[in-house]
Amino acid sequence: MRIAGIDEAGRGALFGPVVAAAVILNPRRRIVGLDDSKKLPAERRTELAARIHEHALAWAVAEIDAQRIDAWNIYQASRQAMTAALLQLTISPDYLLIDAMQLDVLIEQKSLIKGDARSVSIAAASILAKTHRDARMEEWDAVYPQYGLARHKGYATPDHLEALRLHGPSPLHRHSFAPVRESACWGAGATQAPLPLEI
């Protein structure tokens, strides 16, 4: 059986996309050290991501941007990102292992609570999703240096919240999230956000 592990990164962030990855590992090419991406230092995640890219039978990454998160809600956006990653796989899986989520697809699947710590396939997906999203935050840091995105990756750290208070949100912040919505009311340099897409 070709088992695809699926996971997301950035669900709790205030800025940028939620990213999902799907991975079908090669049972003949064991990758030592796969674990929940949150438990691994950044350098180790980068090393493992390269090995996953090289040795997995198939892998794919998909993003759902902040506008669509605001239009749908983060739960539905996460599911859409996972489904998009699954559909981009070059090999069709027979079975899905998903971190705490069910997808509306005609493939047998199992939702695992804390799946990234229980399944190497989900762990591999969590690593690809996290490294991809972190790289995107590095890119956006150059565009919006006032927020410190390279440091906190868009999460609600004290310095990110202070930057939101000082500058207001950018168009790529998630305006439906309370800390962003509140900062838009009184941020000194608030930038008008684009209207959410109609679904």
Q: Is the pLDDT of residue 163 over 50?
A: yes
| Per-residue CA distances from 144 to 35, 154, 167, 172, 189 (Å) | 32, 11, 11, 10, 12
Q: Locate the DSSP E strands across the chain.
A: 3-9, 18-24, 58-64, 95-99, 109-112
Q: What is the pLDDT of residues 21-73, one digit of tens each?
A: 999 999 999 999 999 898 999 999 999 999 999 999 999 999 999 999 999 99
CATH 3.30.420.10 domain range(s) in the chain:
3-140
CATH number of 3-140: 3.30.420.10
pTM exceeds 0.85 for this model: yes
The C-alpha atoms of residue 184 and residue 39 are separated, in whole angstroms, by: 33
pLDDT tens sequence across 106-133:
999 999 999 989 999 999 999 999 999 9
Distance (Å, whole) CA 20 – CA 7 = 6
Quick count: other Cβ atoms within 10 Å of Cβ 186? 9
For residue 193, pLDDT over 70 is answered with: no
CB 67 within 8 A of CB 196: yes
pLDDT of residue 36: 87
Mean pLDDT confidence for 186-190:
49
Alpha carbon distance, N-terminus to C-terminus of the chain: 36
Q: Which is it for the CA torsion 135, 155, 25, 109, positive or negative?
A: negative
